[in-house]
Structure formats: C-alpha cells, structure tokens
C-alpha cells in the first residue's frame, strides 16, 4: 500500500485514532500551532504519537486571528476559518512532500458545533484540494465520539496520552470546554 497521506494531527483523540487507523498509508503528520492556548500540550501529544508510531512529524506555526476565543470558558466558541487554514496548509505541505491526500480528524458530532466541520464546507475544500491534485478526506465524519472511541479501542490507541482540552489551566485540562465535556462523557 502506497504511503501517500498527510494527516493533520492535533494530538487529540480523533486525530490519533485516525492516525492509528490510517498508519499504513501515512507519509507524515502535520501539527499546526495556530496560537491556541493548548498548543504546547497538543504539540507534545502529536509528537509523542508520531515518535511512538514511526511517522515523520512536521510542525508549522501559523497564528490565526481569533485563537484567543479558546481561552477560559470556550464552550461553543469557534476560531473563525480554522479548518480552512489548517487544510490549506495541509494541502501545501502535502504537495511539498509528495502526498496526494490530506486527512483531518473531524467526527460526526463536530458538525453540530463547528461550521467548518460540516459536509458542505468539506466538499468545498475538497474541491480546492482537487484543483491541486490533493484529495481532502475526513474518514471519521460519519462517526459519533463513542464510535471513534470504539475504533480507538479496536486499534489499541492509548487515548490517555491524547490531549483534548482547548483551555488548559496550569497545564491540566480545564474540564469545562467542549472537548473536555465530550471526553468526560
């Protein structure tokens, strides 16, 4: 099987589960520090996963306006255009390393909370990718968080080492942001 996939790897449960599932096809993983409050924790989880799975890790710093909305009580807050920026950088890096696909770990429950995780958005950016010869895919999109966790169990993913908090307090999960409440459920 050809290694032709670049995965956008945040270090969260969804992305490391997707990475583990797609590992035979992974050419590399990309972590994007866009100025999010949990960038150091996410980056560390992403780098750990890559090192432990023998997947080349790449990191870029791409400050986005509005990333500060994830500080404090970030329930329901959205970084405007985040996935558009992440996928665009992913397409750029994919072309630079010879990957023909970009995977992003969006699950079915993300569509409720984030406009840039919905089918119409993904269809639009997939068309952008195809203009450059890169397929953009969200293989977990039809799955609930519970189904993603079941897939993680099936593939032996160490979800305890994933980072799933937008607003860490003293380096620990806040317990109140959307990813924390989803994970605690």
Superfamily the domain 5-184 falls into:
HUPs (3.40.50.620)
**Mean pLDDT over all residues of the chain?**
90
Domain boundaries, the chain: 5-184
> 3-class SS at 37?
coil
Local confidence band at 92 (pLDDT 50, 70, 90 cut-offs): very high
Would you place residue 67 in the very low, low, confident or very high pLDDT band (cuts 50, 70, 90)?
A: low
- The pLDDT of residue 99: 97
Mean pLDDT value across residues 111-116 = 81
Q: Please check the confidence at residue 182 and state whether its pLDDT lies above 60.
A: yes
- Reference 13, options 174, 143, 169; nearest CA is 143
Q: Are 45 and 59 in contact (CB under 8 A)?
A: no
Distance (Å, rounded) from C-alpha 52 to C-alpha 61?
23
Cβ neighbour number for residue 47 with a 10 Å cutoff = 16
For residue 78, what pLDDT is reported? 66
- Region of residue 48 (left: phi > 0; alpha: psi -120 to 50; beta: else): alpha
């Amino acid at each position: 099987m050809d290694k032709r996939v670049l995965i956008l790897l945040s270090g969260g449960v969804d992305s490391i589960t997707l990475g583990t599932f797609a590992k035979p096809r992974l050419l590399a993983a990309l972590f994007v520090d866009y100025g999010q409050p949990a960038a150091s924790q996410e980056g560390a989880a992403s780098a750990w996963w890559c090192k432990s799975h023998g997947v080349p890790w790449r990191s870029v710093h791409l400050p986005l306006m509005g990333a500060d909305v994830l500080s404090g009580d970030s329930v329901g807050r959205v970084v405007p255009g985040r996935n558009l920026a992440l996928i665009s950088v992913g397409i750029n890096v994919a072309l630079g390393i010879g990957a023909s696909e970009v995977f992003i770990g969006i699950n079915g429950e993300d569509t409720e909370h984030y406009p840039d995780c919905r089918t119409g958005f993904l269809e639009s950016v997939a068309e952008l990718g195809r203009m450059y010869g890169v397929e953009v895919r969200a293989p977990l999109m039809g799955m609930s968080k519970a189904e993603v966790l079941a897939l993680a169990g099936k593939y032996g993913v160490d979800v305890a080492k994933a980072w799933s908090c937008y607003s860490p307090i003293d380096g620990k999960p806040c317990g109140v942001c959307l990813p924390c409440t989803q994970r605690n459920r």
